[in-house]
Every structure is written in structure tokens, then in C-alpha cells.
Amino acid sequence: MPLLNLPDLPFKEPVIVFTLLITIILIAPIVFRKFRIPGIVGLIISGMIIGPHGMNLVEFGESIKLLSTVGLLYLMFLAGLELNSRDLLRNKNKSLIFGALTFFIPLILGFFVAHFLLSYNFLASLLIASMFSTHTLIAYPIASRLGITKSEAVTIAIGGTIITDTAVLVLLAFISVASEGTFTALFWIRIVLSISAFSFLILWGVPKISIWFFKNLEGESGSQYIFVLAMLFISGLLARAAGIEPIIGAFLAGLALSNLIPPTSALMNRISFIGNNFFIPIFLISVGLMVNFTVFFNGFGALIFAGTLVVVAIASKFAAAWVMQRIYNYTNTERQVIFGLSVSHAAAIIAVVIVGYNLKLIGLDVLNGAIMIILVSCFIGSFITERYGRVLAVAEAAKIPVKAFSSERILVPVSNPATIEGLIDFAILIREAEPEHPLCMLSVVPDDAFAQDQILKNNKMFESAISHAAAADTQLTHVSRVDLNVANGISRAVKELMITKIVLGWNGKITTTNFFFGSIIENLIGSTEQMVMVVKVSNSLNTINRIVVSMPENAECEAGFHSWLNMIAVIALRTSSMILFTGFQKTISAIQGIYDLEPVKFNTEYKLVKSSHPITDQAQTINGKDLYVVIAARRRTLSFSHYFDHMPRDLARNYESKNFIIIYPEQKPVELQTLSASLDGSVISTTQENIEWQVNTEKPKKISPDKRHNSITE
């Protein structure tokens, strides 16, 4: 009797198979990185080694196919989720052109080779040519890790992927129908109508459902993640029903949700973490399982045939990237990144060859050639993206101006456990993309006999807050202060911790004698010079689509003008919202003078308002999808007006169920050459590179209502 009862190969036991996959995901990237081989390539090679054509440890069975399909859909979903819809729309013409180039150049070249050199018939040649036009974003995780997903080169590569893959799948449906002799004009009508209806349903319906869901389940992080997964797979299922591949539905679902899930949020952190560390690696391993490298040894003729297909596939994709470079004067680095992302073939090419093989249009020689294309193109795409992606990342980083002011430190004083998570989420939303210091949460305890017990009680409250921040990959520290006066306790903490921004919660209790947090806020803004923000979030901030900014007269004269303007830009970019600035002529002229330097990365509109009570007058125009921002002022400043005395009462009466923020700009002058902030690897400014914030209050720029990116209404 044997000492060990070893299972037969390939392994069938789910625990053994899953253990092997998890071990590879853990070890392979580390090992291959030692040899300067990208981790993605290491996972594919590992799949080849353990696959049916290697050690035969794991077969490409139904369980692997299930996880692989989920990984591919997750990959396309992340690509859409991390792609800002405004960036895609701004570069839509370039994406369309690249999509056309990367579809037609391989198609034409591939058809010529298959029909005239390899002597295939018309339909078979067309099918082989469509095989060259496809590509899969195998190297996208590399671009994501390098932080270049917001660059124009990556954006148009992603847009081109969706266009060419959609065109190939439509062409494949045409080939299938034509080969069976059932092709009619109704085919095109059905395809066009089904795709149009599906796209509208996803891009219009998913955001509507998501906004309702996020509003009603705010704080239920687990349910929100499951909801996102449900939208992903429902979209894939609807795509299948519309006659297109589920990967298109997954991408559109990600694009539809991109405006609702801020990149710094805890939900986004969960989505990317699980995808990048589990589902996508399993998909890459499954690609290796499909590779049959024994075709290399099937004779010299088979190797030449497969080599010809590989050369055509790679050369045609490079030609598309090269033509794109010539049209738009991209750098060699940007061209190589576009080429690296678009050269990899995997899932779509398998779908094409399987359909062709089942229709008896092609034989095993083309199938083996497709396997070789997968192997070589994935290696080349990963290496090219890794090498030139680093160069592009360095070039993008060089565009970020060096700040001449002290690093950001945000303080969140808390007293009500119910508002902690909302305040932390807001602080995470406005903070720098790569902060040097953690968020600081403060609790001020009255100096009495119960102070020690209250501190211990607050520590329990802080534990849940720290866990909440950790879910967003954010470090949070907590500080307790014992003081007779809450405002004094906050003020002392601001000085001791060198705080630059203070985030307070709105308690909603406004009375005649104590209508604005008692006297806390008045004492605090009187004893500090830092920016103070009073936040009231009734609906989740990821559901807003417009920021309405109400500015007092002479707001542009305050020392903190540029700071709050920059922060509004951060919120707009991270929530994909447009901004409506309302205020006086000089203030709007100053802002427009800044934004007119170059096209901004968000939509801006301007409205001249000369009302003495703008908060009350604008209440009817603000809805639940807006974020109302009031730029307030401290007493004895140039922009202070007596209507600020009634501001808390007006807000409490008219904005009880709406989102609003009161901003008291900082009073300490900030000496800097440029003012910008880094957002996910890009510069928050009005230019693609950097911006010099300049305001001329003596001769304000005349407002022009016909600006391309800005509009003004009286």
C-alpha cells in the first residue's frame, strides 16, 4: 500500500487546483521580476508550465473557464471604470481614428496575405484577417500600476480597443451568417438596433439605478461592492442578448459607473484590489493554459505558417500605432505605449478562430497559428508597455510643478459618531493624490472629572473610523485634547499639528440664540487662519453631477482664493462633475482668466449674480444631485458681507435635504510659483502640463460668453 495517495493528473480536486492557482499568483510575479520579466508575462508562462501542454497539472475545464471569463470581464470593467468619461469624450475623435486604424490596417493586410499568399477563399481570408484586428488589454494592469491610465495615449488605446473589438465581433457575426447562406438586409438592421438599444440601456440606465442604490445604501460598503459586481455581469449578459460579446458590456458598465465611484474612495479600492490580485491574474494564467507551444515542433512548414501569421499580426498593429503618431505628432514613447497596449491578442482571437473552426472555414494550422500569436503578442505587449510605460510615467511626473508651500495636513474634528464616515470620505476626496501625512481625527473632551472615561469611549469610536479609512487605503490617526472650550481645543491642535485644512460637520441644530454650532465655528474662524470647511452631506458625494459655487463680492481678493479654487477643481475631477460659478463680475473674470489659459479638464459655466441673499434665491435651482458650495468670509475681510450673519439659518431652512459646503478661505498668504495638485498621476490645472495662477483685479478680463469650454448666463 503506497504511503501517499497522490491524485491523478490533471488535478480535479477543487482545493488542490485552487491552492495551485493562488500559489502561482503569489510566487510567479516575484520570481519572474527577479529576471526583469513583467509579472503579467510570468503568470502566462506559469499557465503554460502547469497546463495541458506542459506538466498537465491543471486542465482548462469548466471551473477555470468560469474564473477566466470573470477575470476578462473584470479587466474590461476596470478599464472602463478608471477611464474618465470626460477624457474619453474629449478624445473621442482620436479614439475613433485609432479604432479605425487598428481595425482596417490589420484587416486589409491580413486579407491580402491570407487570400493571395496563403490561397484561402474569400470568407476564410476575411475571418483570418479579422483575427489580426482584435486585441485584448493584457498589458492594462501594467499601465494601471505605473499610474498612466489618465494619459492620452492610454485613453485612446482603450477607446480603440472597444471600437475594433466591436467591429470584429460584428464582422464575425456577418461571416457566420454568410457561411450558412442566411444573410439578408434584416441582419444589419437587427445588429444596429440591438447594439444601439443595449448601449443606451447601459450608459443611461446603469447610472440612474446606481444613484438610487448609493443614496439608499450609503455606508453599506459590502452591499455596494456586490451591487457593482451585479451591474458588471448583468451588463455582460445584456450584451450577449444584444448579439455582441460580454466584454463590451463589461467595459460600458465600467464607463457608466466611472462618474459615480471616485478613484480615492473605499469602494474603488475594494474593486481594484480584488480584481488586480485575484480575478485578472487567474485570467492571465488561463491564457497560458490555452497556449500549445508544441505547435513549434510540428515541422518546419507549420512553423513558417505560424510565423507568418505572427509577423502580420504584430506588424499591422505597429503600423496602426505609427500612423496614429504621424497624424497627431505623438512622441515615440506614446506610440510605443499605444502599440504595447494594442498588440496583445488573447480572448477575442480565440472566439474568432473557434467560430471559424466550427464553421469549417479554417483548419488546425490557423488554430495553432493563433495560439502562437497569443504567446508572442502577449510577451511583446507586456515588455513594451512595461519599458515605455515607465518612460511615459516619468515624463508625466515631470509635468507636475513642484509646490513651494508646506505639505497638506487635514484635521477632522468629530463628536457625532453618525457623521464620522461622511466627514472622512469628504476628507479623502479633497486630499492630495499622494499625501505625505495621514488624515488626523480630533476629539475635544471637556476638562472635568469624566474626561478620562470620555477619552476611552472616543477611542472605541475612532476604531471604526480607522477601519473605514483603511478600506480606502488611507492612513488615519486620532488625537484627543482636553480643554474647557471646544474651539480652543481645535485651535491648539491646529497649531501643534501644523494643520492646513479643517473639515467640520454640520449638526443641523439652528436656533435663535445658538444657530451656528453654538459659538464654536465663530470662535474657530476667529482664532485660526487655515481653510475651514463645514460639510453637510445628505446624499452620497459620488452621485453629484454639478457643483454650484456661490461667491461673495471681492472673493478674488482673499489670500486663500487660489486654494479653494483648486480644491473645487479636485472635487469636480474626482466626481466628474461640472462647475457653475455664481457671483460678481470681477470674481468671475478672475476665474475665467485662469481657466481660459488652456482648456480645462471639466466643464465650467458662469452666472452673474448680484443678489444680496444668493443662498435663499438659489435654493429652488439646487437639487439632490448638486453640491452647493458657499464661499464665506471672516469678519474684517474684504469679501465679508452682513448677509453671512443670516447664512446658517438660510441654509438650515432651504437646504435641509441637500448637499452643501461652507468654505472659509485661508487668510495666511501662500507663496508659490504654481498652484496645482496631483490627481491619480495627472495635474489638476487648466492645462495638460501646468498652470500659473494669475489674477489681475485691477483690470478684470472681459467675460466672453462664446468661449469653447466656458459659458456665461446673466
Which of 398, 416, 439 lies at the terminal end of a domain, its last residue?
398
Name the region of 243 (left: φ>0; alpha: ψ -120 to 50; beta: rest): left
The predicted structure's pLDDT at residue 601: 66
Q: How confident is the model at residue 231 (pLDDT cuts 50, 70, 90)?
A: very high
451 and 513 fall within a common domain:
yes
Distance CA 149, CA 648 (A): 42
Name the region of 640 (left: φ>0; alpha: ψ -120 to 50; beta: rest): beta
293 and 323 fall within a common domain:
yes
231 and 295 fall within a common domain:
yes
Q: Which of 333, 392, 328 is nearest to 148 (CA)?
A: 392
In this prediction, residues 315-343 reach a mean pLDDT of 93
CATH code for the domain of 369: 1.20.1530.20
Q: Which domain range does residue 421 map to?
A: 401-536
Which of 487, 516, 536 lies at the terminal end of a domain, its last residue?
536
Q: Is residue 9 part of a domain?
A: no
Segment 605-642, tens digit of pLDDT:
888 887 777 888 888 888 888 899 999 888 777 787 77
Q: Say yes or no to pLDDT of 597 above 90.
A: no
Segment 481-516, tens digit of pLDDT:
777 677 778 888 888 888 889 898 886 665 443 444
How many Cβ atoms from other residues are within 10 Å of residue 150's Cβ?
21
407 and 374 fall within a common domain:
no
Question: Which helix (H) or strand (E) is 328 found in, with range?
Answer: helix 300-328
The predicted structure's pLDDT at residue 676: 39
Q: Which residue has cell 463680475?
A: 585
Contact 383, 38 (CB under 8 A): yes
Segment 518-547, tens digit of pLDDT:
457 777 887 788 889 988 887 777 778 899
591 and 708 fall within a common domain:
yes
Q: Is residue 89 part of a domain?
A: yes
The predicted structure's pLDDT at residue 395: 80
Q: How many domains would you assign to the chain? A: 3
Q: How confident is the model at residue 108 (pLDDT cuts 50, 70, 90)?
A: very high
Segment 304-316, tens digit of pLDDT:
888 888 899 999 9
The predicted structure's pLDDT at residue 668: 67
The answer to which of 22-36, 207-221, 424-438 has the lowest mean pLDDT is 207-221
Q: Is residue 65 part of a domain?
A: yes
648 versus 457: the higher-pLDDT residue is 648
Q: Is residue 5 part of a domain?
A: no
In three-state form (DSSP H/G/I as H, E/B as E, the rest C), the secondary structure along 553-585 is CCHHHCCCHHHHHHHHHHHHHHHCCEEEEEECH
Which of 351, 370, 398 lies at the terminal end of a domain, its last residue?
398
CATH code for the domain of 405: 3.40.50.620
Mean pLDDT of the chain: 78
Segment 654-688, tens digit of pLDDT:
888 888 899 999 886 544 333 333 344 333 333 33
Q: Which of 287, 317, 331, 325 is nearest to 381 (CA)?
A: 317
In this prediction, residues 407-418 reach a mean pLDDT of 80
Contact 86, 92 (CB under 8 A): no
The predicted structure's pLDDT at residue 6: 57
